[in-house]
Chains A and B, each alone.
Chain A
Amino acid sequence: MTAYCRIDHVDKTYKRGTTETCVLKEITLDIEKGEYVSIIGHSGCGKSTLLNIVAGLTPATNGGVILEGREVNDPGPDRAVVFQNHSLLPWLTVYDNVRLAVDKVCSATKSRAERHAWTVHNLDLVQMTHAKDKRPSEISGGMKQRVGLARALSMEPKVLLLDEPFGALDALTRAHLQDTVMGLHQKLGNTVMMITHDVDEAVLLSDRIIMMTNGPAAQIGEILPVPLARPRKRLELVADATFLKCRQRVLEFLYERHQFVEAA
């Protein structure tokens, strides 16, 4: 039985003139349906490149991505991305940003009224219905990410890709949004692949944490399962032994064995 989503022996090299830079080397990873996987590593280790390869936005040099038994090369709504900098279209309202995706993805399967209902439903999921007629420039950073999340969810992706979705937010907003994402994962059962550089976030949200070695030629250094029962409660976990142990493991990996080197 093959995995739901398999990243199969992916290499990525960038060529500039005669010099070749190997960013990713021999990345192989299986993701199960409904699983929440985080990829963590120092900046420049190619984790965003890996996500872009899965999204189809960047072609892999070698290897490929197999989703439900089929190889995927092009970007598509079955691998919706929540971008780090929200990437909402500033000339559209919150509603229209989500509606654009709904219209494009569900045009064959849903009637006009159903598409409207589906758009509102997804805005409801991220508690953004109240601002549906505002433009992205009129809402806060956390709200923009919520809308980006609603847009991605509305496509009903097979794999939801989160590219450091909380990176640009302040700590309180980030915690709030993490809870939202956790709740939605619990409710909808999405398969999620998240890029992060926040250890607490990775342990709190993930079923498995994929730790990347430093680039160039970054590899998967270690895979850590997080055996915490769901639903998880932020406050209860603060003193939880398993949580602390997982956190310890990730921190050791990042700061002892694979210390960040600026020279790269």
Chain B
Amino acid sequence: MNMPLAKSVISAGVRSAPPAPVAAKVLPLPVKQKAMNTRAYETLGNMAATVVPPVVMVLLLLTVWQVLCMRPGATLPPPSKIWTEAYDLIVDPFFVAGPQDIGLGWRVLVSLERVAIGYGLAAVFGIALGTLVGQSVWAMRGLDPIFQVLRTISPLAWLPISLAAFRDSQPSAIFVIFITSVWPIIINTAVGIRNIPQDYRNVAAVLRLNPLEFFWKIMIPSAAPYIFTGLRIGIGLSWLAIVAAEMLTGGVGIGFFIWDAWNSSRLPDIFIALAYIGIVGFILDRIVAGLASVVTRGTAAN
């Protein structure tokens, strides 16, 4: 990293010196260019190694799909048809052509907003409750069986109850997200808290940390790997649940778009929406995983 930087500094210095002869200006340039090129080739090579295999596989799958769905009487559209019919959705995620005729990017953002609120609440409640359950034997005995039963309930089964309680689709969808993603966060946090080594508790005892200091300085960092496992499962589940919830509650989100497309027989649009959901879900997972590796740096290494 330092090499080209140093070179460019030198060459810049040479160039900015006003009385320097013309030849001195020309000389350093080809050297710099060459170094840049080799570096660029290396990076390109590395990128190709990670990018090319999945691209090849995708192309292969698309070809198989194309071949299978091209024959007359096929129930699903082939990729070529999707490309031509859903062209506007593919090329511009952020167009606005009317109240219900907007790009998928906007719809995803609306869904993401719901997920952000529901999942954010789930993270806060989940970590707090998980800490309580992990810390107190009685809280665990009382609450753990309830959690174990409640967590098996399908997200959509909660929807009628939340609709009845909130009498509005927006908070109901958010509640479904919350109730779906909160369980893995609670359970993993509780396991993490329960697994805090006695050594760390001894250190805290000798230092006479108060409960708040113990929570921030020992519990959270020590349980962080577990908590992040819960958070990662939770974000996946909430992204699964939002699509289903939006199908039923309506509105602007990506889930309702699929339902709407199905009702108006726009099959190609559904495929595009599926691709969006998959990619956004993948990105969400990567974000939480990346956050985890930054926050738990050091903890996992021991």
Considering the complex, which residues of chain B in the window 200-221 have a beta carbon less than 8 Å from any beta carbon of chain A? 200, 202-203, 205-209, 213, 217-218, 221
Q: Are B200 and A75 interface neighbours, CB within 8 A?
A: no
When A85-B199, A100-B217, A104-B213 are in contact, do A90 and B299 touch as well, CB less than 8 Å? Answer: yes
Q: Which residue of A lies closest to B220 (CB)?
A: A91
Contacts of A169 in B (CB 8 A): none
**Docked complex Cα distance between A81 and B200 (Å):** 12
Contacts of A89 in B (CB 8 A): 200, 203, 217-218, 221-222
Q: Are A104 and B207 interface neighbours, CB within 8 A?
A: yes
Best-buried of A56, A79, A80, A90 by chain B (most CB within 10 Å): A90
**Docked complex Cα distance between A135 and B208 (Å):** 23
Q: Which residue of B lies closest to A161 (CB)?
A: B206
When A83-B202, A87-B202, A89-B218 are in contact, do A77 and B301 touch as well, CB less than 8 Å? Answer: no
Q: Among the listed B206, B217, B301, which residue makes an inter-chain contact with A135, where contact means beta carbons less than 8 Å apart? A: B301
**Docked complex Cα distance between A137 and B296 (Å):** 13
Q: Are B203 and A87 interface neighbours, CB within 8 A?
A: yes
Main secondary structure of the interface of A (DSSP, over half): loop
Q: Are A81 and B298 interface neighbours, CB within 8 A?
A: no
Counting contact residues on chain B (CB < 8 A from A), the size range is 20 to 34
**Docked complex Cα distance between A171 and B72 (Å):** 81
When A87-B200, A89-B221, A91-B221 are in contact, do A56 and B205 touch as well, CB less than 8 Å? Answer: yes
Best-buried of B199, B203, B213, B217 by chain A (most CB within 10 Å): B203
**Docked complex Cα distance between A83 and B206 (Å):** 11
When A90-B299, A90-B301 are in contact, do A75 and B221 touch as well, CB less than 8 Å? Answer: no
- The total of Cβ contacts below 8 Å across the A-B interface reads 63
A142 at the B interface (CB under 8 A): no
Q: Are B298 and A77 interface neighbours, CB within 8 A?
A: no
Tell me the minimal C-beta distance from A139 to chain B in angstroms.
12
Considering the complex, which residues of chain A in the window 58-94 have a beta carbon less than 8 Å from any beta carbon of chain B? 74-77, 79-81, 83, 85, 87, 89-92
B263 at the A interface (CB under 8 A): no
Tell me the minimal C-beta distance from A225 to chain B in angstroms.
30
B152 at the A interface (CB under 8 A): no
B302 at the A interface (CB under 8 A): yes
Q: Which residue of A lies closest to B199 (CB)?
A: A87
Best-buried of A76, A91, A104 by chain B (most CB within 10 Å): A91
**Docked complex Cα distance between A101 and B217 (Å):** 12
Contacts of B200 in A (CB 8 A): 87, 89
Q: Which residue of A lies closest to B207 (CB)?
A: A104
**Docked complex Cα distance between A15 and B222 (Å):** 31
Q: Among the listed A79, A91, A100, which residue makes an inter-chain contact with B298, where contact means beta carbons less than 8 Å apart? A: A91
Q: Are B298 and A55 interface neighbours, CB within 8 A?
A: no
A136 at the B interface (CB under 8 A): yes
Contacts of A136 in B (CB 8 A): 298, 302
Contacts of A87 in B (CB 8 A): 199-200, 202-203
**Docked complex Cα distance between A231 and B102 (Å):** 84
When A83-B202, A87-B199, A87-B202 are in contact, do A100 and B301 touch as well, CB less than 8 Å? Answer: no
A238 at the B interface (CB under 8 A): no
Tell me the minimal C-beta distance from B179 to chain A in angstroms.
32
A105 at the B interface (CB under 8 A): yes
Q: Are A137 and B203 interface neighbours, CB within 8 A?
A: no
**Docked complex Cα distance between A83 and B207 (Å):** 13
When A83-B199, A104-B213 are in contact, do A90 and B206 touch as well, CB less than 8 Å? Answer: no
Q: Are B298 and A75 interface neighbours, CB within 8 A?
A: no
Contacts of B202 in A (CB 8 A): 57, 75, 81, 83, 87
Q: Among the listed A55, A56, A90, A105, which residue makes an inter-chain contact with B302, where contact means beta carbons less than 8 Å apart? A: A90
**Docked complex Cα distance between A104 and B199 (Å):** 18
Q: Are B298 and A135 interface neighbours, CB within 8 A?
A: yes
Tell me the minimal C-beta distance from A111 to chain B in angstroms.
20
Q: Among the listed B207, B221, B224, which residue makes an inter-chain contact with A105, where contact means beta carbons less than 8 Å apart? A: B207
**Docked complex Cα distance between A135 and B101 (Å):** 54
Contacts of B299 in A (CB 8 A): 90-91
Contacts of B207 in A (CB 8 A): 77, 100-101, 104-105, 155
Q: Which residue of A lies closest to B209 (CB)?
A: A104
Contacts of A80 in B (CB 8 A): 206
Q: Which residue of A lies closest to B295 (CB)?
A: A91
**Docked complex Cα distance between A81 and B221 (Å):** 22
Contacts of B199 in A (CB 8 A): 83, 85, 87
B residues contacting A by CB (< 8 A) are 199-200, 202-203, 205-209, 213, 217-218, 221-222, 224, 296-299, 301-302
Query: What are the 4 A-B residue pairs with the smallest beta carbon separation, nearest first?
Result: A90-B302, A87-B199, A75-B205, A137-B301
Subset of 7 A-B contacts with CB under 8 Å: A74-B205, A76-B206, A83-B199, A90-B301, A91-B222, A91-B296, A137-B301
A residues contacting B by CB (< 8 A) are 55-57, 74-77, 79-81, 83, 85, 87, 89-92, 100-101, 104-105, 135-137, 155
